[in-house]
Structure 1
């Protein structure tokens, strides 16, 4: 079984949000096209408490139940089967979707007999990269959509370094047009 995992496609990571990926909005139509190509679609959300240690490094963003933590209006949410929440404790950063606290993602994927994971979302050099590396560590055949991932670009060079790290670890970099319905 193949599944699509949308990482943190949330308002605060889009232009106008608290921690935006400058070109983040351009991936929404690409992600929407991908939704029809997978039977199982999972989305992760940053879901931070106000007193999170995460905010020692980052501006306040994706506070639980806030508009910034919501999916953008343009995302076709009805096609998402389940949402995993990460960074929910004040003592963790929650960079990877595999750190979700409301649902153990690895167990969920195993229950659904997923062996191939296709990943898109925000942001390349943090949450996407950490999710991809954890997927590879969990022995999923892992694909990352080059045209459906964007970086926050907090530090020069980190985006390209993240792509190299994911590929070196074993992820396959693909483009959305390569994937047909029922991937």
Structure 2
């Protein structure tokens, strides 16, 4: 495969590279920390990088602890549809919400925080889980003139997948750098996510395709 050389209209989107999603964190993604060095090397190849952070208030409606008698990973019917309940994670201002210490944010031009509305969870970097409340990222990227977005981070089957699908809906080209992501993988959700992203026209690449 010809090496992909990121240009002026390309942007690397780093999804939720936060402590609570790392091994030992409140909502650990298996091998989540393994992607950090790869993402740092990828960032050095891009002229433009944005990053997202889950940024929940304490007692967020997506936390199992906010629903007496419920346990993490159960599902409930929220006002906007089915919602997975999670362990308390990425609470605003805590060390769990901070970026992994080894992540180098030097190239990051924008940090977008999501999930701060108490009654709505937010997987996608573009749209809250009600699918109508926007984060403003689409407008920012369009105003900057970006056309192709490269996605890395955590987790493949939730926040990365939803972000990629919304990017395609918004008309951006989307590239998933597969080895720079890791999945929670609930009942085959990683495989389902990859199939769904391919179905909407996402290019699946590896870091080596970008010379990393």
In the other structure, the counterpart of 1:10 is 18
In the other structure, the counterpart of 1:92 is 120
Give CA-to-partner distance per residue, 1:100-157, whole Å, 9 cap, x none: 799610111011100000000000111000000000000100000011000122x221
The question of whether the paired residues in 2 share the 8 Å contact of 1:4 and 1:117 is answered with: yes
In the other structure, the counterpart of 1:160 is 191
The question of whether the paired residues in 1 share the 8 Å contact of 2:127 and 2:166 is answered with: no
TM-score (norm 2): 0.81
Is 1:141–2:142 an aligned residue pair? no
In the other structure, the counterpart of 2:48 is 40
The offset of 1:52, in angstroms, is: 1.3
Aligned residues: 180
Q: Distance in 2 between matches of 1:23 and 1:129?
A: 18
- Aligned-residue Cα RMSD (Å) equals 1.6
- The one of 74, 78, 93 aligned to 2:106: 78
Q: Please, which runs of 5 or more residues in structure 1 have no aligned partner?
A: none
Q: Please, which runs of 5 or more residues in structure 2 have no aligned partner?
A: 1-8, 65-84
Give the greater-gyration-radius structure (CA): 2
Q: Distance in 1 between matches of 2:44 and 2:169?
A: 27
Instruction: Name the CA shift for 1:65/1:99 in 2 (closer, same or farther; >3 Å).
Output: farther
